[in-house]
Structure 1
Amino acid sequence: MTEFFIATRPALAALCLAAFIYKLLSASNIRHDPATIALLACIASEAIGWTLTIPSVSQRLDLWLGLPNLSALLMRLLGAAVLSPSLLAAVFTWSNPAAEARRKTSFAVGYGLAVGTAMIGLWIAAAVDTRHDTFLVQNLNRPLVVIYLVIYELGFAAGLVALVRFSWSYARRVDDTWLRPSLRIIALGSGGYLVVCINQLISIPARLLGYGHVRWDVLTGISIRLGVVGIVTGLLLPSIAAQSGQVRTWWGHLRSFRALDDLWQDFNQAFPEVSLFDHTRAWRSYLSTEELHYLLSRRVIEIRDCWRALRPYLSDHPRDAPEDISALAAAAARSLHTALAARAAGEPADEESGASHLERLEVTDLDEDIEWLTQVGRAYSAMRPGRLVTTTG
């Protein structure tokens, strides 16, 4: 299993790096959002820490700097002096009023600095020159090393305990579809990390009493990997869910926009004065959900205006219009196709013609109107042999 655990380290480092980049790009107004800053620090420390666990990276770093086992110190500093205080800062920001959150966050930063300073001082004083994979086994007879490890494990565990308590408590209070499972995943991930901390703390007296802890290596290896995946996934899940929902909304707008294309182009050709925009737009306009929704809404309004202007050319209004919405859309599409052809052929207009039941003027909600006209647009495209040539009649 050791080879497997070592082989998964680059994947975990890549996961954390991808999560950091995603959070950095998706967050807005970062400078004024302490919780987002704390989460970015948390995920960044994980990405760097897991990178340092890769043997080739840590060995090259130690060799380049000429300081044995420096990568082990940096890895542990990232856990106890950066990750844990960042988790505390995030929890304080989420669970307290702004003024109290700032005060407690300052405590978390001071706590991280104190833990980091103590670890660096003990590391220098102990002057340990062995690789970190055998750090505990080979140096437990040295009090400074024992103190160093205890400070590291307790410092690392502090933020995890706070995150477990906060996540599990709030998960029972919220009703949000994605936030509740996210909090539970965070709690389970933090619990996985805590298993590792507890195991290391128990290993110290166990080793002093002559008991080995090798049999726990598989458990701790699995726990720490579940921990990082759980924390990263839980922290990002609400944001990813919101982003995926926005993508679905954008895709729906784009499909409706494209479904109306043929109908709108024929209308635009027949009544160019109605259109506010030319049909050619910069491709960037279609990447924003808000911009695309505006263009779609504008297209619907223009289609409605053109439909109203086309009334004099519409055929007799059916008295028994179909009740099925798809059949009604097909009937409306046929009516519009015939009216546009009549206008293009220069047939006389009936200025007394009024609104048709096929227009569905009773629809007042914009989203419902978009849905209805999208069906009309699809039906119109299905029967449209080619672009109509407009003549003034």
Structure 2
Amino acid sequence: MVVESATFACCALVAWLAFGVKVFELRGKRADPALCALVPALGLCGFAFAAAALAADGRVDRWLGAGVVALVSHLLMLCWVLGLLAVLAHWTLPGAAARSTCRVLAVVGLTVVGTQTALFAAGGFRSRFYLVDGPSRVVDLVYLAPCLTVVELAWLVAVVQCGRYARAARGRHLVVGLRIAAIGAGVLLPHGPVRAGVLLAADRARSAWEVGLALWQGVGMSLLLLGITVPALCVRVTASRGWLRDVRDYRALFPLWRDICTALPSIALHPPVAPAVERLVLRDLRHRLYRRVIEIRDGWLVLRSHVDPHTAHEVAASLSTTGLTGPDLQAAVEAAHFHSALVAYTDHRPPAAPEPVRLRTGEDLDGEITWLVRVARAYTDRVGTTSR
């Protein structure tokens, strides 16, 4: 039973990973009834497969009694698929109809749980296989029939609804997720009838089928859970990439912004701090990044009159001999303008340019950030990282 136990443990891990992703998504969507139903359903799925792994291992039965862990696994699996049906109802039906369907599912779930528990208590089951082993093959089938019926219904509905909405959905990640979920449910769909057939097989044949059935269920369930998780996971990955880009840009602007704010303290909403403290700032970065760009531009409005146009041309000519071309050359020239203007301002020199030097600007705020980051890096690399 090692293969079966390992397979079910992997399924439990996948379910809990999906649970974690959806819990994170739920923080901003607590009014979404489908998501509110999906999160606990995924948690139950994880516990169902964890119990299945323990049941397949068999050692826990020595403490709790033969077949008890398998019964718990079956009941948790039933709750998971009922939760999945509730999610599909919220996805596909109007609010009132979805709530009515959920009430029906709750009644069905309570009925099946009660029936299966009563059959287990009256059946004299033992635990030689992952599925509890009753006094006869017919008793086994009667015991599992209610659960298998609900599970097969869930897979059928999942195949139909996920396939239908994958054709109509917008957004590449959502379409891919729905298709993967439909494939996973399609893989699981024949599992129930085959399982019922195996229940009626001889002990030797039944034992040989157990490994294949466990792997079959593991593949199908992993695909289904992956499909459910892919859209939210892709959104989180995209958001994380944006956050990492903001961290990089925010830190790249620091030397230029710090020197400007040191010379012109009045433009800074928050004064510069030590670089070590600066690296601890990880929240609200988008707002902070916008603020930093605005303060750099505000500082330039004050400093630009301190750039001598004649000196500016000489700087541009000098930098062009270093091998820089195009935007890199322009960024280096602007970095030199910032440096010379800061030096002149902090030395209290009078303005030198009746017609201020104009700098390049971005087409929008993101373009402005991209350009100023390039200028700030040139400032750091070619002018220095400390104030004069």
TM-score, structure 2 normalization: 0.87
Is residue 247–residue 282 contact of structure 2 (8 Å, CA) maintained in 1? no
Q: Distance in 2 between matches of 1:203 and 1:227?
A: 18
In 2, Cα distance between equivalents of 1:133 and 1:344? 79
How far the C-alpha of 1:59 sits from its partner, in A, is 4.5
Deviation, 1:364, is 5.0
Q: How far apart, in 2, do the equivalents of 1:286 and 1:5 lie? A: 47
> 1: CA distance between counterparts of 2:135 and 2:335?
83
Residue 44 in 1 paired to residue 43 in 2?
Answer: yes
Counterpart CA distance in 2 for 1:331 and 1:286 is 30
Tell me which residue corresponds to 1:69: 67
d(CA) in 1 for partners of 2:211, 2:68: 26
1:195 deviation in Å?
2.8
Aligned match for 1:89, one of 72, 86, 91: 86
Assess if the C-alpha contact under 8 Å between 2:41 and 2:83 holds in 1.
Answer: yes
1:360 maps to which residue?
A: 360
The percent identity for this pair of structures is 27
Matched, 1:207 2:201: yes
Counterpart position of 1:296: 289
C-alpha separation in 1, matches of 2:349 and 2:279: 41
Pair 1:308 & 2:301 matched: yes
| Aligned residue in 2 for 1:225 | 218
Determine which of 244, 253, 278 is the counterpart of 2:271.
278
Shift of 1:10: 2.8
Counterparts in 2 of 1:58 and 1:223: CA distance versus 1, 3 Å: closer
Q: Deviations over 1:98-135 (max 9, x none)?
A: 11111111112222112212211221221223444364
Who is 1:106 aligned against?
A: 103
Per-residue deviation, 1:257: 0.9
- Shift of residue 255, structure 1, vs aligned partner: 1.1
| Contact map agreement 1:311 1:353 (CA 8 A) in 2 | no
Q: What is the distance in 2 between the residues matched to 1:50 and 1:257? A: 44
- Please give the secondary structure, in 2, of the residue aligned with 1:178: helix
Q: CA deviation at 1:218?
A: 4.9
Judge conservation of contact 2:82–2:154 (CA < 8 Å) in 1: yes
Distance in structure 2 (CA, Å) of the matches to 1:227 and 1:140: 29
TM alignment of 1:116-195, pairs within 5 A: 116-133=113-130, 135=132, 139-141=135-137, 143-195=138-190
Q: Could you tell me whether the CA contact under 8 Å between 2:30 and 2:36 is conserved in 1?
A: yes
1:340-355 equivalences in 2 (<5 Å): 340-350=342-352, 352-354=354-356
* Mean Cα deviation higher: 309-318 or 2-11: 2-11
**Rounded Cα–Cα distance in structure 2 between residues aligned with 1:50 and 1:134:** 13
Question: Partners in 2 of 1:63 and 1:128 — Cα distance?
Answer: 14
> In structure 1, how many angstroms separate the alpha carbons of the residues matched to 2:10 and 2:221?
11
Cα displacement (A) at 1:339? 1.8
Structure-2 separation of matches of 1:309 and 1:191: 67
1:87 and 1:159 in contact (8 A); partners too: yes
Shift of 1:329: 1.1
TM superposition shift of 1:302:
0.6
- 2:102 counterpart SS class: helix
Distance 1:388 1:116, change over 3 A: same
| Cα distance per residue 1:143-178 (max 9 Å; x no partner) | 443211222211221111111111111111123111
Give the secondary-structure state (helix, strand or coil) at the position aligned to 2:189.
helix
Shift of the 314–64 alpha-carbon distance from structure 1 to 2, 3 Å rule, reads same
The TM-score normalised by the length of structure 1 is 0.86
Residue 58 to residue 41, structure 1, CA distance change in 2 (3 Å): farther
What is the one-letter code of the residue matched to 2:140? V
Determine the C-alpha separation between the residues in 2 that align with 1:5 and 1:60. Answer: 14
CA distance in 2, matches of 1:58, 1:128: 17
Aligned length: 377
Paired residue type of 1:340: L
Alpha carbons 1:260, 1:377 under 8 Å: kept: yes
**Is the contact between residue 285 and residue 292 of structure 1 (CA under 8 Å) also seen in structure 2?**
no
The answer as to whether partners of 1:344 and 1:388 remain within 8 angstroms in 2 is no
Q: Is the 8 A contact 2:306 2:352 kept in 1?
A: yes
Cα shift at 1:190: 1.5
> CA RMSD of the aligned region, Å?
2.9
Q: Quick check: 47-56 or 179-188, which moved more?
A: 47-56
Structure 2 partner of 1:248: 241
Matched to 1:207, the amino acid is A
Contact 2:4 2:53 in 1 (8 A): no
Aligned equivalent of 2:341: 339
**What are structure 1's unaligned runs of at least 5 residues?**
none
Report what 2:261 is aligned to.
268
SS at match of 1:287: coil
Gap regions ≥5 residues in structure 2: none
Shift of 1:280: 3.4
> Take 2:56 and 2:148, find their aligned partners in 1: how far apart are those partners?
23
Give the 3-state SS of the residue equivalent to 1:160 in structure 2: helix
Whichever residue aligns with residue 242 of structure 1, its letter is: V
The answer to whether the 8 A contact 1:163-1:187 is kept is yes
- The alpha carbon displacement at 1:335 in A equals 1.4
Relative to structure 1, is the Cα distance of residues 117 and 15 closer, same or farther in structure 2, using a 3 angstrom cutoff? Answer: same
